[in-house]
Every structure is written in C-alpha cells, then in structure tokens.
Amino acid sequence: MINVVLLQQTPDPEKTIALAAKLCYSSSGIDQLRERMSVSDIGTFLEKIMSLGHESVLEHASFTFGIEGISRAASHQLVRHRVASYSQQSQRYVKHDDVFEYVVPDSIAGRPELAERFEARMRELHAEYRSLLAEGIPAEDARFLLPNAAATKIIVTMNARELLHFFRLRCCERAQWEIRKLAVEMLKLVKGVAPVVFREAGPECVSSGCPEGKMTCGNILEVRQRFATL
C-alpha cells in the first residue's frame, strides 16, 4: 500500500512565493515588502500572478515527501521528472534476505487464481535470491533477480512549479495507475499547506482542455469534479 508523508516544506510557502513575485515589480526593500504583506494580500496576489502565468516564482517553495510501498516500476517513472531530488533505498546495500515486500496490481489481486500464481512466483524469486546470498553472491548481483514488483522507499523533493507539472501529467487518467495514486496522494498533502498555489492542480483537463486527443478518457466533467473536491 502506498504511504506518502509530507516531511517538510519551505516555511510559509505561499508567503515566500508572493514575496518573490512582489519584489519583481517593486522598488521597496525586502523587509518593507514583508511587513506590508497580509494573508488576504498574499492570496489575492498569488491568484493574479498565476493567472498571468508567472510561474518562475513558484520555484522558491519546495516540498519534501517520504514515500513507501511503491514498486520499482513506479519509481522508475517518478525519477524521470528531472527537476527534483531523490534518495532511494538501495538494492545494492540493503539486502532483502528476511522480508521481501512487493506490489500486486489490482488487476491481478482481484482474480484469486492469478493472484496465487503471481505471489507464488514472487516467493520463488525471493527464495532464489536468498540462495544466491547464501552462496556468497553480493547483493548488488543477486538483486538482478528482483522484479519490477519489488517495493521501494524514496524521499523526493520538488519545487511548486515542478509539482504542478508533475500533477498535470501523473494525475491524468491516462497515467499508469500506481504513479497516478502516488500523485493524487502528494497533491492532497500540498493542498493543505499551499491551497492557493495548488487550487487548480491536477490533470491538464482540470484547468483547460484534454491534451490526449483520441486517447482521451472521455470523463472530463467527472475528473474535474473529483479534483475540485479533493
């Protein structure tokens, strides 16, 4: 099961972003700008700059997530987002000789006969992996047996601008189911600490049209409603 925790973020991220944006258009000093800013002023100003597409200032706010229970298949997709920092549990240094955690797709878990076959194969792979370790094979070589289903842990840091891009791609119904679940959980967390910035965050169709063309899921209204009440 995917478990996502927001470990930390830029203190008062929306104030930091608003301050950076105001500085671009003001002759006042930074301390003066900070003193003048009120909560209502921050919200109104953020809405304005975001409507104008002034997204570079969003890079001043960063968010760090602790993620557990995703598969290596999902983490390989995640790290393709290059404007981010990652620290992932190593299969080279961390041995899975006692406990081997893995992810079972719902499409398999929902069919008992297939789920049994899948889990039997996972047990076989783990037994062979342990056998190689017992024979003195280094974990960095024994890991070649481990499947994409192997669970992993990873810490991820992204700035607000990159997160919006990440959500546009990975919250889409066309995204692979596991990274979509991960993206939605991450979005729920950042909405709580930066509600104005992430008010319209989600797949592309939340704020504009569907970019998928003939590959569209065809459920734009349903998707918009779901993310409006996320």
Long-range contacts of 185-193 (CB under 8 A, 24+ apart): 185/2, 185/4, 186/4, 186/65, 187/230, 188/230, 189/4, 189/5, 189/6, 189/63, 189/65, 190/6, 190/9, 190/63, 190/160, 190/163, 191/230, 192/6, 193/6, 193/9, 193/13, 193/63
Residue 111 bears catalytic tag = no
List Cα–Cα distances, 179 to 3, 10, 21, in angstroms.
12, 24, 32
Of 123, 170, 199, 224, the catalytic one is 170
Q: Report residue 20 as tokens.
A: 């950076």
Q: Catalytic residue positions?
A: 170
